[in-house]
Structure 1
Amino acid sequence: MNLSQEEWVAQLEADENVVILDVRTEDEYNDGIIPEAINIDIHKGQEFISELEALDKNKKYYVYCRSGARSGKACEIMNEMGFEYAYNLEGGILGWDGEIVSP
């Protein structure tokens, strides 16, 4: 599900049992992240799928990338794998006006 930044932040703050997931490359991740994000690079193919399989499907995942395209794809993959709650940040970190920290 695609959410605007305002919707993404509001739901993230209201929800419990959440994980912020950054699907960019390690280099992009190291340039700065949304606080508390974990990194699983979507470009790693089967390794990406394997890392997703290890996650708790009962948690709610707030997913972002640079512009929103890769994270949108990641949410589709997660839905196909049985994740009920995967929310894509429209516009990605490029459109983010919240806090950005070093990982």
Structure 2
Amino acid sequence: MKNITQEEWAKGIAEDENVEILDVRTDEEVEAGMIPNARQIDIHKGQGFIDEVEKIDKSKNVYVYCRSGARSGQACQIMDSLGFESTYNLEGGFMKWEGETTQPED
């Protein structure tokens, strides 16, 4: 896991073709908006979170965020223990995000 700044995040997701963006917030939090192209898997789902994360290609560079950066850090640690090669935690999370956002699909 690597903690990265918004600038590093924006550059990484723009230039990396082997990327997966993961939002680990709750459904209620996601209603406030999401980073474009993110997949939401709520970390509070416990084993359900692990089951869903296991479906992601472990060779992808996975960019993970939550509301403030704490849960996404935990998610990165879990994913690292599951064998993911590269996980990146957005410092400050969605609260500090200044880039583009989108509304979740129903």
Give, in angstroms, the shift of residue 55 of structure 1: 1.2
CA deviations over 1:3-43 (Å, ceiling 9, x no partner): 01111111221211211100000111122001111100000
For structure 1, the residue ranges without an aligned partner over 5 or more in a row are none
Report the TM-score when normalising by structure 1: 0.96
Matches within 5 A, 1:41-56: 41-56=42-57
Q: Distance in 1 between matches of 2:24 and 2:88?
A: 13
* 79-88 vs 9-18, greater mean Cα deviation: 9-18
Q: Is 1:62 the equivalent of 2:63? A: yes
For structure 2, the residue ranges without an aligned partner over 5 or more in a row are none
Matches within 5 A, 1:1-103: 1-103=2-104
SS at match of 2:14: helix
SS at match of 1:7: helix
Considering only aligned residues, what root-mean-square deviation do their CA atoms show, in Å?
Answer: 0.8
Q: Distance in 1 between matches of 2:30 and 2:71?
A: 14
SS at match of 1:71: helix
User: How many residues are paired up?
Assistant: 103
Instruction: Provide the identity percentage.
Output: 60
SS at match of 1:2: strand
SS at match of 1:57: coil
Q: Distance in 1 between matches of 2:12 and 2:18?
A: 12
SS at match of 1:19: strand
Report the TM-score when normalising by structure 2: 0.93
Aligned AA for 2:42?
D
